[in-house]
Amino acid sequence: MERSVQYDTILLDLGGVLIDVDYHAAARAFAQLGFGEFNALYSKAKQDHLFDGFETGAITPAEFRMKIRALYGNPISDEQIDHCWNAMLGGIPQERIALVKRLREHHQVLLLSNTNAIHVPAFEAIVARENGIRDFKALFDGAYYSCELGMRKPDPGIFRFVLAAHGAAADRTLFIDDSIQHVEGARKAGLHAEHLELGNEDVVALIKRLELLA
């Protein structure tokens, strides 16, 4: 990345970047109920069309649960499905909340997450309970969920939509995501983009390394 670029806008991913996520936890939870094939359907890098449709809002929560039951082949309640599906969600360390607030002192800070209508209330409840934040979207200058937009990363169109909504120039925007395919999609849309490699650093360390805090 060019250190000489002055960014007006910072666009952040949610899962893995701000909120801790264990993508295998859902599979483990489903496996405990006897559904041992879930991990083959869903992962960080690749997922079945069922999940893509859920993340774009094309599939409702009721339809999602119905399809999971069909794949599972045995009776499983809505509550059990939601519990297993939400098992991947962790919390947001307070230093990442503080990071967003500090970044907003000198940048427009936006959020763009591939997520779904079951996860949204679940992670918002986690943040309310653990961080005392009742309106999660208000933490940002703008926050967008794929299930509300009908598009998902890495489609370059979703990046263009979000930037246009805030008058942000792609060449003065930095996008940060822990999924390389999303980083590549952002670059196709003309944004600068950094791949957060979670095995090496978290977003706080990345921001410090890039010297983005005044």
What would the mean pLDDT of 144-149 be, rounded to a whole number?
Answer: 98
pLDDT-derived band of residue 44, with 50, 70 and 90 as boundaries? very low
pLDDT of 128: 97
- Strand (E) or helix (H) holding 27: helix 25-32
Cis bond leading into 154, ω under 30°? Answer: yes
Q: Identify the burial level of 214 via C-beta atoms within 10 angstroms of its C-beta, where 0-12 means exposed, 13-18 middle and 19 or more buried.
A: exposed
2 domain residue, yes or no: no
Q: Is the pLDDT of residue 117 over 50?
A: yes
CATH number of the domain to which 180 belongs? 3.40.50.1000
Statement to judge: residues 199 and 113 lie in one domain:
yes
Q: What percent of the chain is modeled with pLDDT above 70?
A: 93
Q: Is the pLDDT of residue 2 over 70?
A: no
Statement to judge: residues 75 and 47 lie in one domain:
yes
Statement to judge: residues 132 and 119 lie in one domain:
yes
Q: Is the pLDDT of residue 89 over 70?
A: yes
What strands, in cross-sheet order, belong to the sheet with 192-195?
Answer: 142-145, 108-113, 9-12, 173-177, 192-195
What would the mean pLDDT of 207-214 be, rounded to a whole number?
Answer: 91
Q: Count how many domains the chain has.
A: 2
Closest by alpha carbon to 87, among 147, 45, 156, 35?
35
Statement to judge: residues 160 and 59 lie in one domain:
no
Q: Is the pLDDT of residue 47 over 80?
A: no
Q: Is the pLDDT of residue 131 over 90?
A: yes
pLDDT-derived band of residue 214, with 50, 70 and 90 as boundaries? low
pLDDT of 48: 57
Q: Domain range holding 113? A: 9-20+91-209
pLDDT digits 0-9 by tens, 56-81 = 999 999 999 998 888 888 789 999 99
Statement to judge: residues 110 and 136 lie in one domain:
yes
pLDDT-derived band of residue 1, with 50, 70 and 90 as boundaries? very low
pLDDT digits 0-9 by tens, 154-175 = 999 999 999 999 999 999 999 9
pLDDT-derived band of residue 100, with 50, 70 and 90 as boundaries? very high
Statement to judge: residues 166 and 121 lie in one domain:
yes
CATH number of the domain to which 54 belongs? 1.10.150.240
What would the mean pLDDT of 117-130 be, rounded to a whole number?
Answer: 97
Phi/psi for 137 (5° steps) reads -60, -30
Statement to judge: residues 181 and 121 lie in one domain:
yes
Q: Is the pLDDT of residue 106 over 80?
A: yes
pTM: 0.92
- Domain end: 38, 69, 88, which one? 88
